[in-house]
Amino acid sequence: MATTTHIPAAVVRRLPGYYRHLAEREQQGETRISSQEMSERLGLTASQIRQDINCIGGIGQQGFGYHIHELKARIAEILGMTRSYHMIILGAGNLGRALANYASFRQLGYEVCAVFDNATAMVGKQVAGLPVQSIDTLEAWLAAHPVDIGVLCVPPDNAQEAFDRLVDGGVRGIWNFAPIDLKAPPNVALNNVHLSDSLQILSYRMREIEGLT
Amino acid sequence: MATTTHIPAAVVRRLPGYYRHLAEREQQGETRISSQEMSERLGLTASQIRQDINCIGGIGQQGFGYHIHELKARIAEILGMTRSYHMIILGAGNLGRALANYASFRQLGYEVCAVFDNATAMVGKQVAGLPVQSIDTLEAWLAAHPVDIGVLCVPPDNAQEAFDRLVDGGVRGIWNFAPIDLKAPPNVALNNVHLSDSLQILSYRMREIEGLT
């Protein structure tokens, strides 16, 4: 079922969590679930969950809840989990190596195909079974291989240049871990990840629990 | 200004982005900003931004906008940026090392004080200027040093045990990077980070741009 409806970003952001929870319940042999049960586990109100599911075209039944398998399939479809993605990593430092080795990505359909670095000392070293390639060969590689997503694990000063080279080479999805807010042209999807955001949100919760806020 | 008002999680999640943007504008010598200007840069509607700022007690003026310095200070206060945090990292693999070396954390008041690992081969090695300690010494360390936040960079099978040991040792904030949803007692703040969530949200945006969703 393809749909042209726009799904609000806030809803999309909650879908991976819903998916994980549904997969977990399905693995436990369950076939249906209520918004109330999801609410308890996910820390959202049942009403919020019903709204979100309604928004993605999921249909629940009064007194029955949702078919886990159906709902899970619908979310997988929306998140594009029914296909696979070719991903390359720019920057073979600790973070680049960590992401290259992150097993969950492959399970979800994201395959790291190449790793690049600008340090001569890194070139040729193995990262997640792949030889690190010189960043000088990036354009040649992009011309010869399909790449869906480029992951930026480079220092902030190199991020804009690396971004431009990926986009010029036809990459349409950029996952940026350099702590700088890049801007993308309208035909490129960009996610600026700030790991510190998540740390600051944690601190807020700590203060809330302590009653200090 | 201390306030006892609960701020919705969705609003808190947007505050670090607001803060970064305000800091950037302030650095450029600007002193005031409108919700419209913030909207253009942040990809949120001006109305959403006004609601959020209203929710944290920020006051704007018709035709003037917000005082950047005041608003920034208010957000810093809410996010607990006016104090510093002692952080320890469990797991000195690629991700643990990447986080230990992440410069932005220190700038925001988060100091990595110790790194632990269960692999004998890792113990004693230097990570971000700290010697990796044996996980066997964790309890002794917690008894002797103040620790606000424990960062879990351990394999999923070890995550629950590591979590329990931190909580038993008095740590009240857990930042979990193991790809497993841990559950926390009510007096502990827990942030389960799933890096793949951010990747799936990126994929959704790519499909949206391609017109496939």
Taking all residues of chain A, what is their mean pLDDT, rounded to a whole number? 92
CB-CB neighbors (< 8 A) of B189 in chain A: 202, 205-206, 208-209
- On whether any CB of chain B is under 8 Å from the CB of A7, the answer is yes
Q: Would you place residue A9 in the very low, low, confident or very high pLDDT band (cuts 50, 70, 90)?
A: confident
Task: Write the pLDDT tens digit of every residue in A114-151.
Answer: 999 999 999 999 999 999 999 999 999 999 999 999 99
Q: Which of residues 70 through 109 in chain B touch A, CB cutoff 8 A?
A: 78-81, 85, 93-95, 97-99, 101-105, 108
* Res A153 pLDDT > 70: yes
Residue among A2, A81, A213 minimizing CB distance to B78: A213
Which of A180-194, B1-15, B159-173 tops mean pLDDT? B159-173
Cα(A109)–Cα(A111) distance, integer angstroms = 6
Name residues 112-171 of chain A within 8 A of B (Cβ). 148-149
Output the CA angle A137-A138-A144, nearest 5 degrees: 95
**What residues of chain B lie within 8 A of the CB of A202, using their CB?**
149, 173-175, 189-191
CA A165 to CA A186: how far, in whole Å? 16
| Of A14-23, A152-161, B4-13, B108-117, minimum mean pLDDT range | B4-13
E-strand stretches of A17-172 = 32-33, 66-67, 85-90, 110-117, 126-127, 130-134, 149-152
pLDDT tens digits for B66-121?
Answer: 999 999 999 999 998 889 999 999 999 999 999 999 888 988 999 999 999 999 99
**ipTM of the complex in this document:** 0.90
Closest-CA residue to B13 (of A52, A205, A208): A205
Axis-axis angle for helices A195-210, B9-27 (nearest 10): 120
What is the structure's pLDDT at B2? 46
Contact (CB<8Å) B200/A20: no
Question: Cα–Cα distance between B138 and B162 in angstroms, integer?
Answer: 10
What phi and psi values does residue A49 have, to the nearest 5 degrees? -65, -45
Strands A85-90 and A110-117: parallel
Q: Report angle CA A203, A206, A208 to the nearest 5 degrees.
A: 110
CB contacts, 8 Å: A1 with chain B:
none
The answer to whether residues A76 and A82 touch, using CB atoms and an 8 Å cutoff, is yes
Q: What percentage of chain B exceeds 90 in pLDDT? A: 77
Instruction: Tell me if A175 and B99 make a contact (CB, 8 A cut-off).
Output: no
Helix (H) or strand (E) holding A171: none
- pTM of the predicted protein model: 0.88
Contact A206, B173 (CB under 8 A): yes
The pLDDT assigned to A213 comes to 57
- Where would I find the beta strands (DSSP E) of B37-159? 66-67, 85-90, 110-117, 126-127, 130-134, 149-152
pLDDT of residue B58: 79
How does the average pLDDT of chain B come out, rounded?
A: 92
